[in-house]
Amino acid sequence: MLGALVIVFREVVEAGLVVGIVLAATRGIAGRSWRVSLGILCGVLGASIVAAFAGAISNAFAGSGQELLNATVLIIAVVSLTWHNVWMAEHGRELAADMRRVGTEVSEGQKPLAVLAIVVFVAVMREGSEVVLFLYGIVVAGTDMGSLLTGGVLGLAAGAALSALSYYGLVALPLRYIFSVTGLLLTLLAAGMAAQAVHFLQLAGVINVFQSRLWDTSWLLSDSSILGRMLHVLIGYEDRPTELQVIAYAATLAIILVLIRMARSERQPRTAS
């Protein structure tokens, strides 16, 4: 039972942290609940499809299908996050001002909402497919199902609770800071995902350069521990990254920051939008 609890908990937390940040980042924007829910729902659906075709996906492309699929959806998430951050640099100030003035909901911000729903979808699909496969295994094996399912349900509840906690922690921030803090978190999330995508491309054998390990901090914080995993999701922590992973991480950060700066300076001289 404990094994089931731990596995489900781990995957739910990984997806849940992303959902929590996205919810905090879209606070006050009209229609965010159903968009994020739609992202989760599609994610669960996608996870089931990925799980159902796990064998076929794995065997595709000389056995690299799984890695390539992971890399593909991660890259899409990175692009979505980049786009979102740039959009926020252009419009975030009005959005925040709008929220203060009107009080609650703003109708602006539908576009970033749709993009962030994609990020939620990707996160839920990736982590969810492992949960689906694991639970499917329990059902097929048929043995000791009750206790394993109990573990699964408890893991789901605990993971959801921890994710909810992260969300409430974020929205407790003063309104003024919330967009800058969530923006920073989404930027680090993007950089971490870019590094993960590179890892999958290296596993697939698509990229064969810069693959020696740059450092080893597994003695300090292993990324298979719960804290290490959470930091892995949040800021892309890796205990033994390859050179190219670090390059991808730094490059993603740099690109997003430069684009944000460009978006801001482009905005300064103009008066009307």
Binding site for another protein (CB under 8 A): 3, 7, 51, 54-55, 58-59, 61-64, 66-69, 71-73, 75-76, 129-130, 133-134, 136-138, 140-141, 199, 201-206, 211, 218, 222-224, 240
Please report how close the Cβ of residue 64 comes to another protein at its closest, in angstroms.
5
Between CA 59 and CA 66 the distance in angstroms is 8
d(CA 118, CA 38): 9
- The answer to whether the beta carbons of residues 31 and 192 sit under 8 Å apart is no
Task: Report the C-alpha gap between 155 and 144 in whole angstroms.
Answer: 17
Cβ proximity to another protein, 68 vs 234, nearer residue: 68
Virtual CA dihedral for 174, 180, 184, 186, nearest 10 degrees? 90
Cβ proximity to another protein: between 134 and 167 the closer is 134
CB of 74 to another protein, least distance (A): 10
10 versus 27: smaller Cβ distance to another protein: 10
What is the rounded distance in angstroms from the CA atom of residue 123 to the CA atom of residue 129? 10
CB of 32 to another protein, least distance (A): 22
Query: At its nearest, how many Å lie between another protein and the CB of residue 272?
Result: 32
CA 67 to chain centre: 17
Q: CB of 157: closest distance to another protein in angstroms?
A: 20
Q: Which is nearer to another protein, 133 or 154 (CB)?
A: 133
- 18 or 204: whose CB is closer to another protein? 204
How far apart CA 10 and CA 39 sit, in angstroms, is: 20
Largest CA distance in the chain: 68
Are residues 124 and 19 in contact, defined by beta-carbon separation less than 8 angstroms?
Answer: yes
For the bound state, the minimum distance from the C-beta of residue 61 to another protein, rounded and expressed in Å, comes to: 4
In whole angstroms, the minimum distance from the beta carbon of 247 to another protein comes to 16
Residue closer to another protein, measured from CB, 207 or 253: 207
In the complex with another protein, the residue whose CB is nearer, 55 or 269, is 55
